[in-house]
A and B are shown apart, each in its own frame.
Chain A
Amino acid sequence: MPQKLSIPQFVVTVNNLSVMRGEYLAVDNVSFKLLPGTHTAIIGPNGAGKSTLIKTILGLVQAHSGEIKLFNASKPFKKLKQEIGYIPQKFSFERTFPLTVSELVGLGLNHQQWWYSSKRKKEIIDRALEQVHLTKQAKQKIGTLSGGELKRILLAYCLVVPRRLLVLDEALAGVDATGEMEFAALLNNLKQEHNWTILEVSHDLDLVSKYCDSVICLNRRLLYQGSPSTTLTSENLLHIYGSLVSPTCHHHEPSRLPESF
């Protein structure tokens, strides 16, 4: 009897994707697949098309050619979006924007949840804030938060709805080294807890080596793909960046969570 082969259900399938930004070919014929529960980092020099690639997957930028498939599903893209969490690179707003942390997290609720009773909504929001260890900041205005806290609040925004895919576009840009470590450790814990698939653009090769299962090296074209240990070799980094020195290479302390965790 021939045995049935189990076909893996990919979370993201990108086939021969090319993206134009004006006259410029920003992403050139890129293909890759993401397995459920994996953490993948896209690395590459500035202008390599990393953010463009991520934004195309999210439907924020139009593809020139190629195919993107999410969750192998036939559902309309709009419905699938509910299952995707996104933390943008730039999250700028005026400091006096009249919105509290709780309100921002509550904006992540979906249409059905929005009509829940206030008590039930508060429970969901409080639970999300608890998971990112920012319960005390619930009533604080968002303009008073530090860069690291703001990124954790955006994680809480993603937590109020069950997600399958989390996309981060240089989420740690502008966050200090301690904030980076805290965020990366928290993200890793939440990933295990919720079985998220994570796709992120990162410049921090130390954190990529520590937390990611696979790396996509991009410079408009896909240069290398594989596990951090096989991909982030000196030879490859020289080819990708033109230098042996990584763009951001912190020497972090061994993984240790702050006391508040």
Chain B
Amino acid sequence: MNLADFLSLFSLPFMQRAALGGVLLGILGGILGSFLILRRLSLFGDTVGHSAMLGVVLAALLELPSTWTLIGFTVAFGLGVIYLIDRTDLGSDTVLCISLSGSIALGTIGFSYLKGYRGNLLSILFGDILAISNTDLILLLLLLGVTLAWLIISLPEQILLTLNSDLALVKGVPVRSHRYFFIVLLAITIALTIRAVGILLVNGFLVIPAASARLICQQFVPFLATAAGIGALSGVMGMVISGAINLPSGPSIVLVQLFGFLAVALWCRQG
């Protein structure tokens, strides 16, 4: 592909939407993923991501709009899982494993009841960032706005409860409300990311940029900014690479994140 072809490809509206979507998802994933890994909830993102299969099957069975059903389902599922973790004496990994298995079992059974063409449902495994619509972009922008506002208002409280929840409680921080609101933001982000990169890669968007930033940052705010920056840059670079050599877009973005992480890890080892 020569430069003219490449530029004409990015002049297409669907490619522009996909690139912008990749950047927005990268920023959101970087910010929320930072808290996700520090709160040791990496497996939570994976569990909610995989449970989305049940959400998609439910939307198809009940003939409901897929985006809104997926958002509603992931939020309800995420809150339900956190509630179970809070209310049982089992370890969080055990509860997450039970929830993951249960949702996939139900999703698979539900899938077998679907009639007609089921190829669209299989696409949820790998997603399609090129199919990002204007509505998706508006939702992503709104979500990013709410996330940034949430951070501006409560950043010290978020850091404190991430570091030590008892210190936060004694200070009067509404720890439970903050935790549940974070789960809501995370679940909506996961739902929107799944449409772009699929169930199998969604956790990469959340974990890899934050993990890279964690290796190089000493302070919290630069850590958040670096994670968001890596997420956004990976979005752009992944789209450019996928456009230039005709590779699937979602996996290209995740591969850029992965190579970025490996480079940072090697650099830190040498340093």
A residues with a Cβ closer than 8 A to B are: 55, 58-60, 78-79, 81-82, 84, 86, 88, 91, 93-94, 96-100, 103-104, 106-109, 114, 139, 141, 157, 167
Contacts and interface: CB of A to CB of B under 8 A. Distances in A.
Nearest to A76: B172
Contacts of A91: 164
Nearest to B166: A88
B167 A86 contact: yes
A82 B170 CA distance: 8
Nearest to B164: A91
A59 B159 contact: no
Nearest to A142: B163
Contacts of A106: 156
B214 interface: yes
B11 interface: no
Given A93-B163, A93-B164, A107-B160, A84 B170 contact: yes
Interface in B75-92: none
B120 to A, nearest CB: 41
Interface string B216-260: 011110110000000000000000000000000000000000000
Contacts of A86: 166-167, 170
A167 to B, nearest CB: 8
Nearest to B156: A107
Given A81-B171, A107-B160, A109-B156, A60 B166 contact: yes
B162 to A, nearest CB: 8
Contacts of B160: 107
B138 interface: no
Nearest to B215: A96
Contacts of A167: 170
Contacts of A104: 163
A91 B38 CA distance: 15
Contact of A59 (B170, B213, B214): B170
Contacts of A84: 170
Contacts of B159: 99, 103, 107
B159 to A, nearest CB: 6
Nearest to B171: A81
B42 to A, nearest CB: 12
Given A91-B164, A97-B38, A103 B170 contact: no
- With most chain A CB atoms within 10 A of its CB, the pick from B38, B166, B214 is B166
B219 A100 contact: yes
Contacts of B163: 93, 97, 99, 104, 107
A22 B217 CA distance: 42
Contacts of A97: 38, 163
29 contacts: A55-B166, A59-B169, A60-B170, A79-B172, A81-B170, A81-B172, A82-B171, A86-B166, A86-B167, A86-B170, A93-B163, A94-B38, A96-B214, A97-B38, A98-B213, A98-B218, A98-B220, A98-B223, A99-B159, A99-B219, A99-B220, A100-B218, A100-B219, A103-B159, A104-B163, A107-B156, A108-B171, A109-B156, A139-B218
Q: Which 7 A-B pairs have the closest CB atoms?
A: A98-B223, A81-B172, A86-B170, A98-B217, A78-B172, A107-B160, A141-B218
What range describes how many residues of B lie at the interface?
Answer: 20 to 34
Given A93-B164, A106-B156, A109-B156, A98 B170 contact: no
Interface centre among B164, B169, B222, B223 (most CB of A within 10 A): B164
Contacts of A93: 163-164
A88 B160 CA distance: 13
A102 B223 CA distance: 15
Instruction: Give the one of A78, A104, A107, A157 with max B CB within 10 A.
Output: A107
Contacts of B38: 94, 97
Contacts of A108: 171
Contacts of A141: 218
Given A91-B164, A99-B163, A114 B156 contact: yes
Contacts of B219: 98-100, 103
Contacts of A78: 172
Nearest to A99: B220
A60 B169 contact: yes
B153 to A, nearest CB: 10
B170 A58 contact: yes
B167 A88 contact: yes
A15 B245 CA distance: 75
Nearest to B157: A107
A86 B173 CA distance: 14
B230 to A, nearest CB: 14
B220 A103 contact: yes
B168 to A, nearest CB: 9
Contacts of B218: 98, 100, 139, 141
A165 B164 CA distance: 20
B166 A98 contact: no
